Amino acid sequence: MKKATAFLFSMIFTLSLAACQSPEEQQEITVWSFTDEAEYVVESFLEENPEAKIDFQFIPASQYETKLRSALSTGIRAPDVFALEAAYVRKFIDHPSLEPLSGAPYHGDDLVEDHYDYIQETERDFDGELRTVAYQGTTGGFYFRRDLTEKYLGTSDPVEVGDLINSWDDVFEIGEIVFEESNGEVTVLPNVSAISEVQNARVSQPWVVDDELVIDQEKKEALNLVDQALESNSLAMLDSWSPGWVNSMQEGSVMFYPAPSWFLNHVLQSNAPETSGQWGLASGPAAFSGGGTFYSIYSEGDNKDLAWEFVKYYGFNEDFLQELAKDEEYYTSHREANDGVAEEISSDFLDGQNYFEFFNEESENVDSVVRTSFDGNIEEIFVDLLGSYARGNFDSQEAFWERFKSDVVTYYPELTINEEE
């Protein structure tokens, strides 16, 4: 009887102690992002891991990069997990505040091979170490107005349209015809960014090699393409994200919009919902990608095990990614996840086109391009000046390149500039 009483008391004490300790032992991580998309994965992850806590903090994009850099540099209130945008991921990826994920205890290299090659190039640092993880596939294509291609090209079939625009010469030839036949009311491309985004995926070198500015031949070719586009009246000269650019989608005054996968959800469907069913998606002169969001782990965080479980879930959990794909019509970074749902995902907005199958094929053709910490800002300089070039603010290509080099060296005085480039 005494033994039974002692055992009962011991059990009550143990359960009471466990009950007292469980709130203290419950792990919590803070997640920062410049987009509220992560709310979807937070909800899904917590359903699967009810013992975890996540403090998700959405920070406006205009403030995000500065706030994140300060937090990682000082360690003051640094998040356990944080998002990085493709435009500036290279500014952060080699910094020691990003936890290496390739080997033990994470073994990320065993998982990341399921991501498309061009995405892996961004996920790894200069030495090939995995330091950030994507969930989003940002493969591009030429979104087109079916009514316009039917009228001017005689077809709205995506494959047939793609066959008609498999080179820039084809695009500009169509542009000249369309502009003339529409009395100047329709053009084939919205702006020079439509050209530069595709060309940016064709380069073989980053902007900087061994601390020297390098101008890839495809960047030089971009100016020639702008010249051709202007001569054939192929550009509408609408600044991206401007009211005129949005109105063109609603009005049907531009035939093609070369853009990434997310353009469908976040631009077309948001800004021109009444045009549902009037769009298609075709291959263009080259496979390309644009943008993207990645998640990294703070190397000095206290709960890196839970942080990794969250990042791993977001980037590699096939069941979750397929739910994301079906529920949100969201193209992912994961080959197997996309292949598994491709047959069942079509878009009413694209007149029933199975766009996952389209992107799955295009994704394998996007070249992997090495980038550096310099590339984001130098690319911005290039694109801004290219728009200025298209508006006639340079009297020659030589003047363009002279100004470009001057602006680059002002921003990065430590770089060597080869004047013969």
Q: What is the CATH number of the domain that holds 385?
A: 3.40.190.10
- Tokens 């360690």 — which residue? 75
In this structure, the answer to whether residues 151 and 63 fall within a common structural domain is no
What confidence category does residue 109 fall into, taking pLDDT thresholds of 50, 70 and 90? very high
Q: How many residues does the chain have?
A: 421
Contact 316, 230 (CB under 8 A): no
Helices 375-390 and 397-411 sit at what angle, rounded to 10 degrees? Answer: 150
Q: What is the mean pLDDT of residues 163-188?
A: 98
Q: What is the CA radius of gyration of the chain?
A: 25
What confidence category does residue 68 fall into, taking pLDDT thresholds of 50, 70 and 90? very high
Does the pLDDT of residue 383 top 70, yes or no? yes
Q: Is the pTM of this model over 0.75?
A: yes
In this structure, the answer to whether residues 165 and 282 fall within a common structural domain is yes
| Residue 208, in any domain of the structure | no
Does the pLDDT of residue 23 top 60, yes or no? no
Q: What is the mean pLDDT of residues 65-79?
A: 96
pLDDT of residue 21: 40
pLDDT of residue 371: 85
| Residue 421, in any domain of the structure | no
What confidence category does residue 25 fall into, taking pLDDT thresholds of 50, 70 and 90? low
In this structure, the answer to whether residues 273 and 317 fall within a common structural domain is no
Q: What is the mean pLDDT of residues 229-256?
A: 97
Percent of the chain with pLDDT over 70: 94
| Residue 415, in any domain of the structure | no
Contact 208, 214 (CB under 8 A): yes
What is the Cα–Cα distance from 94 to 129, expressed in whole angstroms? 9
Structural domain that includes position 79: 26-137+291-345
Range list of β-strands (E), 127-251:
133-134, 140-145, 208-209, 212-213
What confidence category does residue 1 fall into, taking pLDDT thresholds of 50, 70 and 90? very low
Residue 284 Cα distances to 51, 118, 119, 364, angstroms: 48, 18, 20, 15
In this structure, the answer to whether residues 248 and 386 fall within a common structural domain is yes
What is the Cα–Cα distance from 64 to 61, expressed in whole angstroms? 5
| Residue 405, in any domain of the structure | no
pLDDT of residue 421: 67
| Residue 278, in any domain of the structure | yes
Q: What's the mean pLDDT when you consider all of the chain?
A: 93
Angle formed at CA 125 by CA 120 and CA 128, multiple of 5 degrees: 70
**Which amino acid is residue 136, in one-letter code?**
Q
Selection from 248, 253, 246 nearest residue 271 by Cα: 246
Query: 112-156, pLDDT tens digit by residue?
Result: 999 999 999 999 998 899 999 999 999 999 999 999 999 999 999
Counts for the chain of helices (H) and strands (E), in that order: 20, 10
Does the pLDDT of residue 6 top 90, yes or no? no
In this structure, the answer to whether residues 239 and 387 fall within a common structural domain is yes
